[in-house]
């Protein structure tokens, strides 16, 4: 810093001679006077750092130590580089004053000017901050988070457990918004933001990423302990009741955690990883947290590939239906078949419906697939030699789409199948979503003559109330009550007996699903089930085997058609 003299003593301007040849006498002194009176701070230094001239504004600034030392540093750089404009290095004096210093090398010195850019800088900061702030909660936004992440990642000396990213998603927030309106939803988000803020350390950054999603960058070398403790605190705190505008609200939070740079050293990727862990926390029942594991990424990749394949499976005709007989215990005859979907994925593997139907539901593909199933099943059944029923499984989202009734009507019309022969199987999840509108659709279907069964009964929550709200034709008792350890205990048998009795008194057929052994058969018969379906009688069969089974069914009315076709059934699942 010694290269420059920071004394405020003004020295007479050295260049006080008029430019050669022209100009009125006294022009130099006029110029000097003008410079002295100028609001902007101006000084001329000799190359060895002595002040040659400075105006009053400059002298005033020079009295401030921060300005003097900042100027000294700049001056040294000016000499070294020959010309430095200081535009990008504004000099702050105290809290709010910022000066823009410009240095221009002259033939025998350096011209220094300084102007007050405090207002511009304050405005720039305001705009900057605004661009990085979520206006609703005052937290940061995605841009802020990404910048902070990038900054952290650029530090190559980062300790492997330097930080964690936590993504938070509120459970049941949508219900608050939908039922109480957006103003209450917004107010709730602000309280949530306060609760999150209250749990953060000094270096932590929190952002609202949109909707009810938040993310935290927790900078703490005590990972994963610090993140685990924060995640647990957040799940607990955000899950406590809220009172917003006089409403008592109960929501919850799920949290996903990824460590950085341990899990990954890419800012965008780490957010994705935390989201994958969050997704896991949600599917584990919400109101909990999960740490990212590499296997989650692999699963997600596999899921993504499956999604791409599933999207083109219909066009590539990779689906088929197999049919499993349903047998009446009184007559020992087949009363109908259940259509079960199979996906023959390119590469040879046959995928079980439980492995792809949930995905198809999630990505909105179940509607076209479900429509294909209904049309094909009706067409197939219309060609059978006996008027047996054809049961088709229908997912919850098919009820939500408003096209279900139209599809059923046109499938019946196209195939010529009598409506009474079509039976739709729904699970309780269908009724749980939006019960009244589903029940309305069920009534419309019933008016067409179509039958409706309650599938997998006993696995949901409020089965009995649903049974009261809609008069199902059939209850299918879930396999878990028929087969296996629990089914064989006293609890299982009591449940099957109770359901069979309930079905009897409500005038509904009760089908025991998944009967595999003679022992199970005699048990469900003794409990009062009216019908059975299971491998004991037949595995699901390809369509070309059905004609024979129906013929056999007619020919031997006293013998149930058990074990006649399961080995060549062709259903590998």
Residues that bind Mg ion (CB under 5 A): 393, 425, 455-456, 513
Instruction: Write the CA distances from 313 to 51, 175, 344, 364, 543, integer angstroms.
Output: 82, 35, 9, 14, 20
Say which entry of ligand C2E, Mg ion, none residue 169 contacts (CB below 5 to 8 A, set by partner kind): none
Separation of CA 500 from chain center: 42
Return the number of the residue (158 or 359) whose C-beta is nearest ligand C2E: 359
d(CA 491, CA 487): 7
Q: Tokens 């058609």 label which residue?
A: 561
Selection from ligand C2E, Mg ion, none that 340 binds (CB < 5 to 8 A by kind) is ligand C2E
Three-class SS state of 75: helix
Whether the CB-CB separation of 150 and 144 falls below 8 Å is answered with no
The smaller minimum CB distance to ligand C2E, of residues 200 and 314, is found at 314
CB of 480 to ligand C2E, least distance (A): 11
Residue 392's alpha-carbon distances to 271, 323, 367, 421, in angstroms, are: 41, 10, 14, 11
* Range 280-285, long-range pairs (CB < 8 A, 24+ positions): 280/256, 281/254, 281/255, 281/256, 282/169, 282/171, 282/254
Which positions touch ligand C2E (CB under 6 A)?
324, 340-341, 352-354, 357, 370, 373, 393-395, 425, 455-456, 513-516, 533-535, 540, 573
Is the CB of 244 or the CB of 357 nearer to ligand C2E? 357
Quote the distance between the C-alpha of residue 550 and its chain's center: 48
DSSP letter, residue 343: E
Which of the 8 DSSP states describes residue 133? B
**Nearest CA among 262, 257, 229, 245 for reference residue 189:** 245
Decide the pairing of beta strands 422-426 and 389-393: parallel
**Residue 209 Cβ, how far from ligand C2E at the closest point, in Å?**
33
* CB of 401 vs Mg ion, minimal distance in Å: 19
Q: How far is the CB of 340 from ligand C2E (least distance, A)?
A: 4
The site partner of 402 among Mg ion, ligand C2E, none (C-beta below 5 to 8 Å per kind) is none
Residue 341 contact among ligand C2E, Mg ion, none, beta carbon within 5 to 8 Å by kind: ligand C2E
Q: Where are the beta strands (DSSP E) in 148-297?
A: 163-171, 205-210, 213-219, 242-244, 247-249, 252-260, 289-291
Query: CB-wise, 56 or 353, nearer to ligand C2E?
Result: 353
CB 251 within 8 A of CB 238: yes
Helices (H) and strands (E) in the chain, counts: 21, 21
> Quick one: 357 or 499, whose CB is closer to ligand C2E?
357
What does 492 bind: ligand C2E, Mg ion, none (CB cut-off 5 to 8 Å by kind)? none
* Nearer Cβ to ligand C2E (230/477): 477
Look at residue 35 and give the partner it binds from Mg ion, ligand C2E, none, a contact being a CB closer than 5 to 8 Å depending on partner kind: none
The option from ligand C2E, Mg ion, none interacting with 540 (CB < 5 to 8 A, set by class) reads: ligand C2E
Nearest to Mg ion of 260, 369 (CB atom): 369
Report the nearest approach of Mg ion to the CB of residue 570 (Å). 19
CB of 487 to ligand C2E, least distance (A): 12
Least distance between ligand C2E and beta carbon 309 (Å)? 18
| 42 beta partners | 113
Contact by Cβ (8 Å): 253, 235: yes
CA 17, 19, 25: angle at the middle one, nearest 5? 65
Question: Across 85-142, where does the E strand assignment appear?
Answer: 91-93, 97-105, 109-116
Please, which residue, 287 or 560, has the CB nearer to ligand C2E?
560
Choose the contact partner of 171 out of ligand C2E, Mg ion, none; CB within 5 to 8 A by kind: none
Distance separating alpha carbons of residues 353 and 351, to the nearest angstrom: 6
The option from Mg ion, ligand C2E, none interacting with 17 (CB < 5 to 8 A, set by class) reads none
Question: CB-wise, 428 or 456, nearer to Mg ion?
Answer: 456
Q: Which is nearer to Mg ion, 4 or 340 (CB)?
A: 340
Smallest separation, CB 393 to Mg ion (Å): 4
Measure the CA–CA gap between 480 and 493, rounded to whole angstroms. Answer: 11
Provide the sign of the torsion angle of the four alpha carbons 122, 125, 131, 132, taken in this order. negative
CB 171 within 8 Å of CB 286: yes
Q: Which of the choices ligand C2E, Mg ion, none does residue 516 contact, using the CB cut-off of 5 to 8 A by kind?
A: ligand C2E
Token duo for residue 315: 């066009």
Q: Which residue, 70 or 514, has its beta carbon nearer to ligand C2E?
A: 514
Token reading at 536: 């004991």
Q: Is 12 helix (H, G, I), strand (E, B) or coil?
A: coil
CA–centroid distance for 473 within its chain: 39
Nearest distance, CB of residue 555 and ligand C2E, angstroms:
24
Shortest approach of Mg ion to residue 478 CB, angstroms? 6
Shortest distance, position 212 Cβ to ligand C2E, whole Å: 29
Q: How far is the CB of 558 from ligand C2E (least distance, A)?
A: 23
Residue nearer to Mg ion on the CB measure, 176 or 482: 482
């Amino acid at each position: 810093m010694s290269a420059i003299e920071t004394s405020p003593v003004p020295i007479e301007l050295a260049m006080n001679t008029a430019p050669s040849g022209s100009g009125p006498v006294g022009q130099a002194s006029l110029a000097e006077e003008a410079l002295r009176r100028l609001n902007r701070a101006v000084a001329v230094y000799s190359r060895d750092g002595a002040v040659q001239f400075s105006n009053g504004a400059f002298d005033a600034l020079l009295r401030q130590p921060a300005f003097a030392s900042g100027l000294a540093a700049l001056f040294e750089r000016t000499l070294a580089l020959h010309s430095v404009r200081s535009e990008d290095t504004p000099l702050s004096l105290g809290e709010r004053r910022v000066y823009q210093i410009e240095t221009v090398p002259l033939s025998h010195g350096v011209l220094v000017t300084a102007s007050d850019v405090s207002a511009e800088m304050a405005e720039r900061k305001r705009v900057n901050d605004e661009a990085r702030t979520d206006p609703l909660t005052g937290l940061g936004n995605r841009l802020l988070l990404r910048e902070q992440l990038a900054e952290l990642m650029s530090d190559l000396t980062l300790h492997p457990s330097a930080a964690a990213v936590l993504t938070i998603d509120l459970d049941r927030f949508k219900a608050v918004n939908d039922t109480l309106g957006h103003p209450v939803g917004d107010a709730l988000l602000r309280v949530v933001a306060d609760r999150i803020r209250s749990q953060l350390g000094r270096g932590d950054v929190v952002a609202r990423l949109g909707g009810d999603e938040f993310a935290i960058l927790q900078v703490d070398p005590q990972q994963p302990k610090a993140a685990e403790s924060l995640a647990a605190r957040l799940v607990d705190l955000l899950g406590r009741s809220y009172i917003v505008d006089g409403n008592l609200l109960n929501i919850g939070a799920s949290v996903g955690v990824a460590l950085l740079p341990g899990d990954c050293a890419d800012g965008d990727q780490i957010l994705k990883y935390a989201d994958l862990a969050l997704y896991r926390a949600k599917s584990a029942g919400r109101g909990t947290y999960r740490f990212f594991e590499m296997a989650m990424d692999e699963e997600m990749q596999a899921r993504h590939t499956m999604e791409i394949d599933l999207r083109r499976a219909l066009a590539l005709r990779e689906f088929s239906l197999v049919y499993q007989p349903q047998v009446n215990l009184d007559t020992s005859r087949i009363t109908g078949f259940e259509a079960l979907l199979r996906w023959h994925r390119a590469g040879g593997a046959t995928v079980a419906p439980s492995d792809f139907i949930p995905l198809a539901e999630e990505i909105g593909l179940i509607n076209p697939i479900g429509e294909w199933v209904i049309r094909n099943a009706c067409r197939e059944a219309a060609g059978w030699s006996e008027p047996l029923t054809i049961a088709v499984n229908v997912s919850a989202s098919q009820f939500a789409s408003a096209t279900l009734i139209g599809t059923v009507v046109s499938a019946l019309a196209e195939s010529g199948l009598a409506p009474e022969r079509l039976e739709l199987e729904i699970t309780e999840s269908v009724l749980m979503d939006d019960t009244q509108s589903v029940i309305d659709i069920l009534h419309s279907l019933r008016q067409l003559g179509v039958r409706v069964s309650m599938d997998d009964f006993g696995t949901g929550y409020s089965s009995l109330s649903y049974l009261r709200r809609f008069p199902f034709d059939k209850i299918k008792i879930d396999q878990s009550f028929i087969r296996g350890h629990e089914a064989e205990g006293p609890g299982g048998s009591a449940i099957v007996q109770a359901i069979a009795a309930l079905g009897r008194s409500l005038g509904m057929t009760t089908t025991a699903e998944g009967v595999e052994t003679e022992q199970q058969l005699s048990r469900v018969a003794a409990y009062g089930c009216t019908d059975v379906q299971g491998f004991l009688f037949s595995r699901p069969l390809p369509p070309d085997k059905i004609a024979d089974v129906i013929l056999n069914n007619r020919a031997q009315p006293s013998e149930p058609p058990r074990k006649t076709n399961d080995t060549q059934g062709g259903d590998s699942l």
